[in-house]
Structure 1
């Protein structure tokens, strides 16, 4: 196959109409990991050893880094064969806004309505104090505060809103990353080094999060170009080692009880992004056994609804905890956590499916139609 451009990254592989089914399934599984981890944050395990083991196996900070790295991978793929032009950038931004904000706004409204219902004031039992502050009954929220929640500037109604804001900020600058990855190593490698420096020099607090996670998007773009320009395949052992590596930084460098102080540390995020990129690269080959095993309809459906599931799960944990309060105190810890998780999933999965079908898909389609008015032609 002949090269179509010059430079370190040379687009040799035909990329039109390719679906990365295994990666879609991984997105869904990562969302389930986040749900389980947040159930355990609300109803923690008393044993430190058990908490470390469960946290290694179901590592939500690593799952968040994986989400961002996966975005870097698939967004470069989505822009492939497009001209770098103002029309292309406007079309890209339009699609990202309609991909992200409608579901966010829908779940924000649901969460707001929940805080105004009597159930949000029902008592809780056997829970962590964190749970007591989650979606408070009659939460005081001004119109300006509600608007900030609707556009991901506040986490009052959706605590994980900061990740949505990172995605939106990354979308603003992503066309530059895409251009650099097309232009060869002379542009891409300095950009990668720059984002690496940004990650380690980012200011503390929420304002530094887009800088800390910027390297994740670069790592995802590099994984895509590696898939595109090499014939290397990871064995099942390689994929397993990448998965283990993805979870190791948080497990080795933090404790479950003190994770909050280090969750967004570049010391964790950067190695997580590297291993996430290796994992995505390994699973991007559809012909490998693990990729084929992941490419089944139930897992693909889970991937389809993963964004809504990720957004809605805290609301459902709050509901499930209050519904189950009469029974939880008398239950053993493992049974308690398992019951809350199962009930959460039983409610969250169908609700996420409805959000996907009636909010995400219609607005995604509308965003694509709107973007088509100024999308540049393929090359």
Structure 2
């Protein structure tokens, strides 16, 4: 049993940056090669990563999620995807930093930049929060306190060293709370990243990687163990998990790494082994993550391969080489992946609520899981079409800027 089972809540989830349009002046392309204006491969890559998050959450063994009646099958399902958070979160946070650097336009004021982020994130976030609050918590808020609801609504939950608070209301929204900190910091971080000389980018990237590798060591050294020890993992605690995995300043390192790698790719300073090679390395690293102590798996094992996949995807689009992730259907799924993230856990919990206490055999459980996925996709599509896309188009710029 791991931390997400102990707390009754779950962990992985994506950030919200989307495949960008890179304007002139966004960075310096390698000599003779302009930057690609769009990166559909990175959008398409979001689809399988989002699916991995869905499967992880569907595998959780606590009563509000579990469908499988057979204990050994349920445990095996969970164990197979137990370290998805260690793969997806470095990917999502680094992808966010990468895309925001690649797509950065000119020199907008911090207020204008924050406005664009706000209108993209907050309206869908609020809709997802309301759905979870009404359908899962119920009108009386039986599963959350008033303080937890307040913190969750205003994206402050990841700052509190209390795992139930981190996952209150809409379970997966903790990563948006962490991501909001990245967005607040980006206008200050971007000029610093731009000032790094091209020849020294490799040293900065290496330094950030080492800093991330030091997070588990720092956590074990300075964070109090507390009283919430995870069953069957006596060396871990909820305090460890919060500091290493959720705490926004700790996760900022992943975001900055993505920013630096974007600059390296844009300046022709990244050694690419291709999507196939990077993907194979990511699979191997995931197996490693399943077999190392929890924090090392969550923070370190998949870090470099995840970043290599992001860079390889961007370079495939920039160089016009083939990419399976440029498939139209995968790109569509990638476009709605933020909305999918916001609704899928609510679908999982609400389904379980409707079904009562009954558990199911394997064929029935697989059928229900497929139905849950389909409903999540449909709800995500509706949220994207009705809220995310129109609000972003209408309100991302001030009225004066639109004139």
**Given the alignment, which residue of 95, 103, 120 partners 2:116?**
95
Q: Which has the higher contact order (CA 8 A, sep 6+)?
A: 1
Deviations 1:72-111 (A, max 9, x none): 11010121x523xxx4322221111222111111111111
Paired residue for 2:393, among 334, 350, 365?
365
Seen in structure 2, the aligned counterparts of structure 1 residues 25 and 191 have a Cα distance that, compared at 3 Å, is closer
Residue deviations 1:13-57 (CA, integer Å, cap 9, x gap) = 66666111111111122111111110111327625984477327x
- Displacement of 1:336: 4.4
Q: Is the 8 A contact 1:242 1:275 kept in 2?
A: yes
Match among 28, 37, 43 for residue 18 of structure 1 = 37
Mapped to 2, the partners of 1:48 and 1:110 lie a distance apart of: 27
| Of 240, 251, 268, the match for 2:290 | 251
Return 5+ residue gaps in structure 2 as ranges: 1-23, 158-166, 224-239
C-alpha separation in 2, matches of 1:92 and 1:29: 29
The yes-or-no answer on 1:75 pairing with 2:75 is: no
The counterpart of 2:321, out of the listed 288, 303, 327, is 288
Name the CA distance, whole Å, in 1 between partners of 2:189 and 2:288. 26
What are the equivalent positions in structure 2 for 1:166-185 lying under 5 Å apart?
Answer: 166-185=178-197
- Decide which of 372, 377, 380 is 1:344's aligned counterpart: 372
CA distance in 2, matches of 1:109, 1:373: 32
**Cα–Cα, structure 1 residues 72 and 197, in superposed 2: closer, same or farther, change >3 Å?**
same
Do the aligned partners of 2:85 and 2:298 also contact (CA within 8 Å) in 1? no
Picking from 319, 333, 352, the partner of 1:302 is: 333
Aligned: 1:146 with 2:149: yes
Q: Measure the CA separation in 2 of the matches of 1:248 and 1:219.
A: 23
Measured in 2, the distance between the counterparts of 1:223 and 1:52 equals 33
Q: CA RMSD in A?
A: 3.4
- Cα distance between partner residues in 2 of 1:362 and 1:61: 33
Q: Render the CA deviation track for 1:249-294: whole Å, top value 9, x for unaligned.
A: 421214xxxxxxx3xx3663244332211011111112333x2x21
TM-score normalised by length of structure 2? 0.71
Inter-partner Cα distance in structure 1 for 2:182 and 2:151: 18
The answer to whether the 8 A contact 1:103-1:308 is kept is yes
C-alpha spacing 1:11/1:237, structure 2 compared with 1 (3 Å): closer
Secondary structure of the structure 1 residue equivalent to 2:37: coil
Separation in structure 1 between the aligned mates of residue 74 and residue 349 of structure 2, nearest angstrom: 24
Counterparts of 1:53 and 1:296, CA distance in 2: 31
**Cα offset, 1:65, TM superposition:** 2.0
8 Å CA contact 1:39, 1:340 repeated in 2: no
Determine which of 308, 316, 321 is the counterpart of 1:278: 308
Partners of 2:28 and 2:41 lie apart in 1 by: 24
Cα gap change, 1:136 to 1:62, in 2 (>3 Å)? farther
Work out whether 1:210 is the aligned partner of 2:210.
Answer: no
1:316 Cα deviation after fit: 0.3
Q: Is the 8 A contact 2:285 2:302 kept in 1?
A: yes
Pairing 1:193–2:207 present: yes
Point out where structure 1 has 5 or more consecutive residues left out of the alignment: 116-134, 255-261, 375-379
Q: What residue number does 2:383 align with?
A: 355
Aligned-partner Cα distance in 2 for 1:339–1:363: 35
Compute the TM-score of the two structures, normalised by the length of structure 1: 0.75
Residue 262 (structure 2) aligns with: 224
